[in-house]
Structure 1
Amino acid sequence: MIGVRLAEDLVNLQATGPWEAGAVTEALRRTPIRFDRLDDATLGDLHAWARRLRGVFAADDVEQRAQRINALLAHGVQLVQLATHDGLPPHLHFAGQESSLVQRVRAMTAGGIAIFAVEAEAGRMGVCARPGCLRVFADTSKNGRRAYCSATCGNSHAVQRYRERQAYRASRSAPHS
């Protein structure tokens, strides 16, 4: 789940505000990826990768999502290796430790998305259904029918639709002169 969650975080950073070193650093620190600092070139490369990741979440169907994931895998994964280190449970590495930060992020997100897609039958990923929200999500809910990035967006959209229905009804029942 770490790779798909990092992919979500990077895409959502791009969707919600300026792409800044502090925010990207915070997203990376929630993962086991080791790094010292982000320079401008690395930030630019990660931003370009986040734009590619968005395409997976925004895919129209399973076939398109699979094609986009395969393109990410071809570009991002260097190797697949079962690793046990630092007291962590066994996990997969998709790039070598000597790889650059950008390559390790590409590998982790591409591999993580691929694993999630296999387990979710390439579904359960999407862009928030609330108009105007550009955030993405990987749906780990029990029923797999999530349509919003958060409960806040779901509730906001429900209120908006309710108000629109009320306004429509009021306009239909108003006396016409």
Structure 2
Amino acid sequence: MLFAHDTECSLIAAAALVNTDGTDGEGLPDVAALDAFFVAHSYSGRHEHTEAELESVRELRPRLRRIWHADTDEIVRIVNGLLREHNALPQLITHDDEPYHIHAVPRDAPLATRMAVEAAMAIADLVRSGELSRLRTCERPGCDDVLVDLSKNRSRRFCDASCGNRAAVSAYRARKAAAAQR
């Protein structure tokens, strides 16, 4: 583990949230999809299951996406803005048999607020440790999804296995075509 467990979970969830607004269409088309996202990324606390909550989560995505394409100073402005806007006050807490970790807004804060602050706190850890290079975009041509490279050797290149497989197949076909032309 490179970072604290809650930091890694928040980074992964932030990237996944950004990727729900991708070239493949709307990844959060309805409240049921948000419910599934909530469970998949182990969010706790308040969850209203409403269209208004869904819309507020969707509105967060462009701000988070900018983090993957910004320089350090702009990332710091985004992170500080999110923390200030949501009145973040970091505190150590434990719940649901989890060890102590940091929450910076109450568990009854709106879901989009908790998502924003958790992402901001995790990105702040990357900034503090000089690890912003772990925020990347998928290297497969045509894919604009983002990823967090948490590998020890910083070798992750694709957002998921399917993009890695597609890139491998494309490279294989290119090699075969080049060999056939010789």
Change (3 A) 1:73 1:161: farther
Q: Note if 1:126 corresponds to 2:136.
A: yes
Extract unaligned runs of 5+ from structure 1. none
Q: Indicate if the aligned counterparts of 2:45 and 2:107 stay in contact, CA closer than 8 A.
A: no
Normalising by structure 1, report the TM-score: 0.80
Identity of aligned residues (%): 32
- What RMSD over aligned residues (CA atoms) do the two structures have, in Å? 2.5
The structure with the largest alpha-carbon Rg is 1
Q: Indicate if the aligned counterparts of 1:124 and 1:145 stay in contact, CA closer than 8 A.
A: no
Output the CA distance in 1 between the equivalents of 2:16 and 2:50: 19
What is the one-letter code of the residue matched to 2:66? G
Output the CA distance in 1 between the equivalents of 2:151 and 2:57: 28
Output the CA distance in 2 between the equivalents of 1:71 and 1:165: 48
Q: Note if 1:12 corresponds to 2:19.
A: yes
Normalising by structure 2, report the TM-score: 0.78
Match of 1:161 in 2: 171
Residue 140 (structure 1) shift: 0.9
What is the one-letter code of the residue matched to 1:107? V
Match of 2:3 in 1: none
Secondary structure at the aligned position of 2:102 is classed as strand
Instruction: Please give the per-residue CA displacement for 1:16-51, whole angstroms capped at 9, x wherever unaligned.
Output: 432222222111123232234322221111111012
**Further displaced range: 122-131 or 156-165:** 156-165
Residue 67 (structure 1) shift: 4.2
Aligned residues: 171
Residue 5 (structure 1) shift: 1.8
Instruction: Please give the per-residue CA displacement for 1:104-133, whole angstroms capped at 9, x wherever unaligned.
Output: 221122212322443462221111111122
Q: Note if 1:109 corresponds to 2:116.
A: no
Match of 1:89 in 2: 99
Output the CA distance in 2 between the equivalents of 1:111 and 1:64: 15
Structure 1 runs of 4+ off > 4 angstroms? Answer: 61-64, 168-171
Extract unaligned runs of 5+ from structure 2. 1-7
Q: Note if 1:149 corresponds to 2:156.
A: no
Output the CA distance in 2 between the equivalents of 1:159 and 1:77: 48
